[in-house]
Amino acid sequence: METKVYDINENNPDLSILKCAAKVIKSGGTVVFPTETVYGLGADALNPEAVLKIFAAKGRPQDNPLIIHVAHTNIEKYVREVPKSAQLLMDKFWPGPLTIIMKKSDVIPDVITAGMDSVAIRMPSNKIAGKLIELSEVPIAAPSANISGRPSPTNIKHVIDDLLGRVDVILGGGRTNVGLESTVIDVTGRPTILRPGGITLEQLKAVLGEVFIDPAIMKAADENLKPRSPGMKYRHYSPKAFMYIVEGEQKKVINKINELSLKSKNEGLKAGILATDETIKKYLNGYILSMGSRENTDTIAASLFDRLREFDELNVDVIYAESIPEEDIGLAVMNRMKKAAGYNVIRV
């Protein structure tokens, strides 16, 4: 398949390019586009045959539901009803990195929802994404634009590395802002976070009061689990190298990683160390990268997937990563890191 690649400016997007991309969506094709979270691989959410092309391009299991992206808050056509809790969240956080699960209407194909009676919807704040959806005149189904299981793409290079020749169009729009996928909250019952992301638990509680966290978020999924949200079941976000997370008091973590990286070196292995700005100079062996500052965990969220892909380019054999506190956006960061590491956690 020939893939057309365009790099456009989010602040002044070329409408002629976006109109061509929207035409591809309308004709049942696939378009990669930037959002504020990560790049998405989109197709017409109301066209089952087009949606199947997403699964094929990514190598994604079809029991893993998709999120549909809209350009406005008038979503009554796609859901049975808009619960009060959903309306409160839409008013506060849309457009933005929050996905809301509600009971679906009959217009949403079963291939989107893996046969479930609910649908995940979000309204991205990225101007390129918003205009593409508006011009397409349909909701766009879009998981992250990467080969299934790989770290999610935060710039056009990542997308080209994974999907060139697998999709019809790639729209580049610079580096994404949040760097992690959207928060997913299910409001079909008591409000429950199914995937942490750019909108934190604390922010959601400030609007709704009581908000629960699905216990599956921070542990390895049962292979028999029927996922209610993307990111709940399958291997995700993983670099090519084996990855371990080291948890504990910071000084002990540094000592343990230094011990492990030296052992790897003596065994002839190339070790990568995923550090923070505050600790990067305390490591002695291997390829050492900082994922950001502990004083500003938004920087860690924004760069995590970039660093994992950098380790791929460095061809390291093993990665040792510091943990960070599971607070605010740190909950989402650790969710992604633990999945990337296959829940290989060393506690010291």
Specify the CATH number for the domain of residue 111: 3.90.870.10
Residue 217 pLDDT: 82
In a domain, 230, yes or no: no
Is residue 171 domain-shared with residue 249, that is, in the same domain? no
Name the percent of the chain in helix, strand, coil, to the closest 5: 35, 20, 45
Residues in Cβ contact with 218 at an 8 Å cutoff, skipping those fewer than 6 apart: 326, 334, 335, 338
Is residue 9 domain-shared with residue 111, that is, in the same domain? yes
150 among annotated binding-site residues: no
Residue 42 pLDDT: 98
Spatial distance between the Cα atoms of 114 and 51, rounded to a whole number of angstroms: 12
pLDDT tens, position by position, 7-27:
999 988 899 999 999 999 999
Is residue 251 domain-shared with residue 212, that is, in the same domain? no
Query: Could you give the residue ranges of the DSSP H alpha helices within the chain?
Result: 15-26, 48-58, 84-93, 110-113, 127-136, 156-163, 201-208, 250-266, 297-314, 330-340
Residues in Cβ contact with 28 at an 8 Å cutoff, skipping those fewer than 6 apart: 43, 44, 47, 49, 50, 53
Residue bearing tokens 């969710």: 335
In a domain, 163, yes or no: yes
Residue 227 pLDDT: 59
Is residue 30 domain-shared with residue 171, that is, in the same domain? yes
Among candidate residues 165, 177, 126, 175, the one with its CA nearest the CA of residue 5: 165
144 among annotated binding-site residues: yes
Residue 231 pLDDT: 56
Q: What is the pTM of this model?
A: 0.93
69 among annotated binding-site residues: yes
Residue bearing tokens 């990563």: 321
Residue 220 pLDDT: 63
Residue bearing tokens 């052992």: 263
27 among annotated binding-site residues: no
Kindly give the pairing relationship between strand 271-275 and strand 287-290: parallel
Longest dimension (CA), the chain: 61
Which residues in the chain land under pLDDT 50?
none
Is residue 28 domain-shared with residue 140, that is, in the same domain? yes
234 among annotated binding-site residues: no
Spatial distance between the Cα atoms of 65 and 261, rounded to a whole number of angstroms: 38
Residue bearing tokens 């918003």: 130
307 among annotated binding-site residues: no
Residue 6 pLDDT: 97
Residue 62 pLDDT: 83
Residue 60 pLDDT: 87
Is residue 200 domain-shared with residue 261, that is, in the same domain? no
261 among annotated binding-site residues: no
Is residue 198 domain-shared with residue 248, that is, in the same domain? no
Domains in the chain, number? 2
237 among annotated binding-site residues: yes
pLDDT tens, position by position, 179-237:
999 999 999 999 999 999 999 999 999 999 999 999 888 766 555 555 566 655 555 78
Spatial distance between the Cα atoms of 314 and 287, rounded to a whole number of angstroms: 8
294 among annotated binding-site residues: no
78 among annotated binding-site residues: no
Q: From edge to edge, which strands make up the β-sheet containing 287-290?
A: 287-290, 271-275, 318-322, 242-247, 345-347
Domain of residue 41, residue span: 4-218
Residue 221 pLDDT: 55
Q: What percent of the chain has pLDDT over 70?
A: 95
